[in-house]
C-alpha cells in the first residue's frame, strides 16, 4: 500500500488516477475531506463527481469499478480512516490482482497489493 | 450581502433573457454576479469564438442566414449551463458581439483581446465624406460643413460669367466636397451599396452648366485635382476662398478594422492595422455557383468577396478581408477556406503570470493546435523525497505470471496516453459526459482491444 499525499482531492484529475493503474496498482482509494467541509467550497464535490464518471469509463475498459474508491474522512476521524482503508483492502484482496475482464467471470486469486491515495490532511 | 450570510456550497443561479436583440446570460450567487451579453445583430457567424475551452459555444444557422431563409436568429448558440463566463469569447470577437461583465465591470478590460488599431490623424484629415460613405459597418461619421458657394462669390451688379468646366471622373475619388459647396451645379449620384472590387461610393458626377458661373471654387477644394474650370470673362465679382470645417467621428465598437477607409482616404489620414492575418483559399471552384447561391457575398461583413463574372466565378479581395471565417461556414459546397496565420493583441494591462493560458486560446482561434500538455506550465522546483523515488521504481516491477496484470496495465497506459493527448477527454469526464469520452477513447484505442 502506497500512501500518496495530495493537497486536495479536487486536485486529482482523471489522468493522475489512471496513472496508478498504468503503473500496476490493484486499486486506488481517494480519501479526502467531507464535501460540506471543503475549504475550497467545491473541491471534494468535484472530486466525487469525477471519480463516479471515471469509474464508468474504466468499467467500459474492463477494469472493475470497485478498484476505484472514494471516501470522505475528516482529519480527526482516525478510526473511520482505518475502517475505510481496511474495507477497501479486503475488497481488493477479494478481487485479486489487476486484470481486464470483459465478461462477468470473476477471478479469485489471492494477492495483497493495493495502492491507496490519501488526500486532505491525513 | 454580509460574508457570513453566505452558505457554503451555494449553487449559482443561471438565467437567460432576451432584450432588444441582445441575449443576456447571468450567473449569480449572493456574492458575485457575472453576465454575458450576446448581440444578435452584430454577430456575423464567424468562427472566432468557437474554440471556447468549455465547448459552450456552437455554430448556429449561418448558411440559412446567409441565404436569407432565416432572419434575426442568433448565429452562435451559447449553452449557459456549460458557460463559465470567463469572457474569452469577448476577447476574441472582433465584431464586439459579446460583452462579458464581472460584478458590473468589463471582464476583458483587464486582459488582452484580439483587436486591430484604427487611428485618425486629425491634422491630415480635411475632412471629407469618402470614408464615411465606404465604411461597411457604419463606424465612421463625418460632420462636414463647407461654406456655401453663393456666400463666397459676391457680385457688384449683374450676375454672369462665361467659361468651361470639366470633371475628370477617372481622377475623382467621389469624396463629395464639391456637392456640399455647390449643390446647385454639381450633383453626385451616390450608389446604395459600396461594392467590390473598386468600392466606389458613387456612380457618377454631373455638372449642370446652366447653374455654373465658373468661379473655380470647386477646383480649389477638390483633393484629387479632378475638376478643371476656365473662366474666360465674367461680371465684376469678389471670390473668397472656401473653408472646410468638421470632424470625423470614429465608433470603435462598430469598427471591424478592415482598412477600407485607409485605402480610399485621399489625405492618408487614417492608419488601420488588421486584427488577424491570413489568407482565403478558394478550392472546389467547380462546385461554386455564384448565380444561384449568394451566401458568401451576403455573409461577408466587409464585402470582400465578389462575383467576377468570368471563369474564376468568385474572387476575394485579400486587402479587404479580415479573415473572420464567416464565409467558410456559410458556403454549402466547401469552396472557401480561411487560413489564419497571426493575430494582433491589444494589451489592456500588464500581463500576469497565469495569463499564458489566454494566449493558448488565441492560438487556437487562429487555427494552431494548442499544445497537448503544459497548458499552464511553469517551472516550479519541488524537492522529491528519496523514498518516493524508490517506491516508484519498485512499482514498475509489479507483474504476474499469467501476464494479466501486464495486459491491464497496458490498457491503463493507453487510457492515460489518450487523456494526456486530448484535454477535451478530461473535460468530458469532468462534466459527466462519459458516453462521449468512452466513444472517443474506444475509437482511438481499437487496435489495443483487438490484440
Q: Is A99 on the interface with B (CB under 8 A)?
A: yes
CB atoms A24 and B404 under 8 Å = no
For residue B387, what pLDDT is reported? Answer: 60
Q: Is A90 on the interface with B (CB under 8 A)?
A: no
**Statement: residue B421 has pLDDT above 70:** yes
- Contact at 8 Å (CB) between B140 and B248? yes
Chain B nearest-CA distance from A17, in A, is 9
Instruction: Tell me phi and psi for residue A80, to 5 degrees.
Output: -60, -40
CB atoms A56 and B434 under 8 Å = yes
How far is Cα B324 from Cα B115, in angstroms, rounded to an integer?
Answer: 12
For residue A52, what pLDDT is reported? Answer: 92
Chain centroid offset of residue B409 CA: 49
The single-letter DSSP state of residue B246 is: E
* B residues 4-23 lying closer than 8 A (beta carbon) to A: 8-9
CB atoms A23 and B391 under 8 Å = no
Chain B nearest-CA distance from A19, in A, is 6
Q: Is A55 on the interface with B (CB under 8 A)?
A: no
Instruction: Tell me phi and psi for residue B249, to 5 degrees.
Output: -110, 135
CB atoms A2 and B426 under 8 Å = no
Q: Residues with Cβ < 8 Å from A88, sequence gap 6 or more?
A: A27, A29, A69, A71, A114, A116
For residue A120, what pLDDT is reported? Answer: 40
Burial of B352-367, coded b for 16+ CB within 10 Å and e otherwise, reads eeeeeebebbbeebbe
**Statement: residue B264 has pLDDT above 80:** yes
Give residue A21's region: left, alpha or beta (phi > 0; psi -120 to 50): alpha
Q: What is the pLDDT along chain A (122 residues), one digit of tens a residue?
A: 888 888 899 888 898 999 988 888 889 999 999 988 888 888 898 999 999 999 988 888 888 889 999 999 998 899 999 999 999 999 998 888 888 775 444 433 333 333 444 444 33
Q: What band does B388 get if pLDDT is binned at 50, 70 and 90?
A: low
- Residues in chain B with CB shorter than 8 Å from the CB of A56 are 434, 438
CB atoms B419 and A15 under 8 Å = yes
- Contact at 8 Å (CB) between B60 and B20? no
Q: What band does B22 get if pLDDT is binned at 50, 70 and 90?
A: very high
- Mean pLDDT in residue range B176-183: 86
- Closest-CA residue to A33 (of A70, A3, A87): A70
ipTM confidence: 0.81
Nearest to A24 among B395, B420, B430 (CB): B395
Percent of chain B with pLDDT over 90: 9
Its pTM stands at 0.65
CB atoms A54 and B413 under 8 Å = no
**Statement: residue B200 has pLDDT above 70:** yes
CB contacts < 8 A (A, B): 98
For residue A31, what pLDDT is reported? Answer: 92
CB atoms A62 and B415 under 8 Å = no
Nearest to A97 among B396, B405, B434 (CB): B405
For residue B16, what pLDDT is reported? Answer: 92
Chain centroid offset of residue B205 CA: 34
For residue B5, what pLDDT is reported? Answer: 59
Q: Pick the range with the lowest mean pLDDT from A51-65, B43-57, B197-211, B366-380.
A: B366-380
For residue A119, what pLDDT is reported? Answer: 41
Q: What band does B397 get if pLDDT is binned at 50, 70 and 90?
A: low
- Mean pLDDT in residue range B251-257: 88
Identify whether B113 is preceded by a cis peptide bond (ω within 30 of 0). Answer: no
Nearest to B419 among A18, A23, A42 (CB): A18
Q: For B139-169, what is each residue's pLDDT tens digit?
A: 888 888 888 888 888 888 788 888 888 888 8
Best A15, A43, A92 residue to mutate vs chain B (most B CBs within 10 Å):
A15
Residue B130's SS3 state is helix
Amino acid at each position: 500500500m502506497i500512501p500518496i499525499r495530495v493537497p486536495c482531492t479536487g486536485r486529482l484529475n482523471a489522468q493522475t488516477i489512471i496513472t496508478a493503474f498504468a503503473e500496476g496498482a490493484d486499486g486506488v482509494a481517494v480519501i479526502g475531506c467531507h464535501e460540506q467541509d471543503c475549504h475550497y467550497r467545491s473541491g471534494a464535490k468535484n472530486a466525487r463527481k469525477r471519480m463516479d464518471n471515471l469509474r464508468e469509463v474504466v468499467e467500459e475498459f474492463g477494469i472493475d469499478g470497485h478498484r476505484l474508491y472514494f471516501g470522505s474522512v475528516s482529519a480527526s476521524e482516525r478510526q473511520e480512516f482505518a475502517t475505510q482503508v481496511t474495507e477497501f483492502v479486503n475488497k481488493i484482496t477479494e478481487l485479486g490482482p489487476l486484470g481486464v475482464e470483459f465478461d462477468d467471470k470473476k477471478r479469485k486469486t489471492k494477492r495483497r497489493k493495493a495502492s491507496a491515495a490519501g488526500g486532505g490532511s491525513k | 450581502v454580509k460574508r457570513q450570510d453566505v452558505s457554503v456550497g451555494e449553487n449559482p443561479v443561471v438565467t437567460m433573457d432576451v432584450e432588444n436583440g441582445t441575449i443576456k446570460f447571468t450567473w449569480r450567487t449572493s456574492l458575485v454576479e457575472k453576465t454575458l451579453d450576446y448581440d444578435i445583430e452584430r454577430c456575423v457567424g464567424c468562427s472566432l469564438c468557437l474554440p471556447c475551452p468549455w465547448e459552450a459555444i456552437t455554430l448556429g444557422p449561418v448558411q440559412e442566414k446567409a441565404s436569407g431563409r432565416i432572419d434575426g436568429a442568433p448565429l452562435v448558440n451559447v449553452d449557459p449551463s456549460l458557460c463559465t463566463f470567463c469572457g474569452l469569447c469577448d476577447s476574441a470577437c472582433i465584431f464586439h458581439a459579446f460583452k462579458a461583465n464581472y460584478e458590473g465591470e468589463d471582464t476583458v478590460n483587464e486582459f488582452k483581446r484580439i483587436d486591430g488599431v484604427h487611428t485618425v490623424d486629425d491634422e491630415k484629415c480635411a475632412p471629407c465624406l469618402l470614408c464615411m460613405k465606404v465604411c461597411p459597418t457604419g463606424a465612421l461619421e463625418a460632420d462636414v460643413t463647407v461654406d456655401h458657394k453663393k456666400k463666397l462669390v459676391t457680385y457688384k451688379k449683374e450676375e454672369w460669367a462665361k467659361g468651361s468646366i470639366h470633371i475628370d471622373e477617372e481622377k475623382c475619388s467621389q469624396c463629395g466636397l464639391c456637392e456640399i459647396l455647390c449643390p446647385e451645379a454639381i450633383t453626385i449620384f451616390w450608389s446604395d451599396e459600396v461594392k467590390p472590387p473598386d468600392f466606389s461610393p458613387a456612380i457618377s458626377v454631373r455638372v449642370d452648366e446652366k447653374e455654373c458661373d465658373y468661379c473655380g471654387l470647386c477646383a480649389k477644394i477638390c483633393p484629387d485635382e479632378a475638376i478643371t474650370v476656365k473662366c474666360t470673362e465674367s461680371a465684376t465679382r469678389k471670390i473668397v476662398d472656401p473653408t472646410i470645417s468638421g470632424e470625423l467621428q470614429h465608433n470603435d465598437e462598430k469598427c471591424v478594422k478592415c482598412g477600407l477607409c485607409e485605402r480610399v482616404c485621399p489625405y492618408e489620414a487614417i492608419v488601420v492595422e488588421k486584427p488577424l492575418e491570413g489568407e482565403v483559399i478558394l478550392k472546389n471552384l467547380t462546385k461554386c455557383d455564384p448565380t444561384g447561391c449568394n451566401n458568401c457575398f451576403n455573409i461577408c461583413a466587409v464585402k470582400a468577396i465578389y462575383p467576377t463574372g468570368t471563369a474564376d466565378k468568385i474572387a476575394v479581395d485579400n486587402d479587404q478581408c479580415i479573415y473572420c471565417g464567416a464565409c467558410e461556414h456559410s458556403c454549402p459546397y466547401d469552396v472557401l477556406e480561411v487560413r489564419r496565420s497571426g493575430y494582433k493583441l491589444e494589451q489592456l494591462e500588464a500581463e500576469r503570470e497565469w495569463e499564458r493560458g489566454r494566449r493558448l486560446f488565441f492560438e487556437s482561434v487562429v487555427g494552431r493546435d494548442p499544445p497537448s500538455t503544459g497548458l499552464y506550465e511553469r517551472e516550479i522546483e519541488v524537492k522529491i523525497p528519496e523514498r518516493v523515488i524508490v517506491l516508484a521504481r519498485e512499482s514498475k516491477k509489479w507483474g504476474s505470471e499469467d501476464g494479466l496484470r501486464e495486459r491491464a496495465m497496458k490498457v491503463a497506459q493507453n487510457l492515460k496516453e489518450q487523456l494526456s493527448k486530448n484535454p477535451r477527454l478530461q473535460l468530458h469526464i469532468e462534466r459527466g459526459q462519459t458516453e462521449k469520452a468512452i466513444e472517443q477513447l474506444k475509437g482511438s484505442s481499437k487496435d489495443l482491444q483487438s490484440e
